[in-house]
Amino acid sequence: MPTACAARRVAGRRSARTVVVMRSAAEEKAGVTPGHPFPWEEDFDQLSDKVKEVTDVLQKDLKGCNIWLVGMMGTGKSTVGKMLANTLKYAFFDTDSVIELAHDKRPVSSIFAEEGQDYFRQCESQIIKELSPYRNLVIATGGGAVLKPENWGYMQLGVVCWLHGEPELLARRVAKDGLEKRPLLAADAPEGVSGEEAARTKLTDLLDQRRRFYENADVVVTLEGYGNDAADGAPTAAVMYRLLSAINDKVQAKKRQDAERLNFRIEGAEQLKNMRTVESPTAGGAQPGAAPGP
């Protein structure tokens, strides 16, 4: 398992790069879908400006607070997390990747098969515990990390963000990658059923089991795509902007709440100056413990 010292060394290697949102020639040609509810998600020049605008505000107030990404497999936690870390000049960790490194780069699917899910979750919790004291980190967690209460105890020292996608969208994504890379899906895939269909059934069951845990997150960001992105979900840069905006809204709300607590007032304070005082029982020379008068 990685030690705290190792985590410190990696956490210190922060990237100075900022994200540059790029679009392909096909996207340039496609243009913006008429009636798109968020047209900047297809206009990447405008999206880049919006990312910079919210980042400039957020970096002043986030103060190094860690960002934890939770959500189902296929939500793009690692991809979005790397982009988010570069944008905020944070270090990035993926708990799955750290586990693989600690096991001679064996893939997660192999660790699951040979060591079992309980062992894997134990490793995951240890990594979450070791990373939680540090600052300026974006951490992408495994889909089942939310199931253990102790993980929440560590993650809630930062901002917990749920990347939420519907099972239909996630099934399309993981089927393209191959179910063999997803041990929870590969183990239960029935014969004669397409990979996408098997993934959709399993992901629906998993989401039903985990939803109440995911709903404890500080912010929720959907992956829903519109216009040209309806089938594949919102582009990574658009999801990152949604995430930045949601975190900023949370941080600003906390600032307002703290300010209101400092600006409290006492109801009826103006009456204090008119209140009569009552003499102490010992006033006028009476000695403590003396018998009361008739």
Q: 200-227 pLDDT, tens per residue?
A: 999 999 999 999 999 999 999 999 999 9
Checking if the pLDDT of 51 tops 90, the result is yes
Whose CA is closest to 12, among 141, 134, 124? 134
- Looking at residue 191, its pLDDT comes to 64
- Looking at residue 2, its pLDDT comes to 45
Distance CA 224, CA 31 (A): 19
- Looking at residue 35, its pLDDT comes to 82
Averaged over 282-289, what is the pLDDT? 55
Give the H or E element holding residue 116: none
- For tokens 């495994």, the residue is 142
Amino acid in position 99:
I
pTM of the model: 0.78
Nearest 5°: CA angle at 163, between 160 and 222? 125
CB neighbours of 254 closer than 8 A, spacing ≥ 6? none
Distance CA 69, CA 47 (A): 22
- pLDDT, tens digit (0-9, with 9 covering 90-100), for 139-188: 999 999 999 999 999 999 999 999 999 999 999 988 887 766 776 775 56
- Looking at residue 37, its pLDDT comes to 85
Checking if the pLDDT of 54 tops 80, the result is yes
Whose CA is closest to 74, among 148, 139, 146, 163? 163
Q: At the topology level of CATH, where does 45-252 sit?
A: Rossmann fold (3.40.50)
- Looking at residue 44, its pLDDT comes to 86
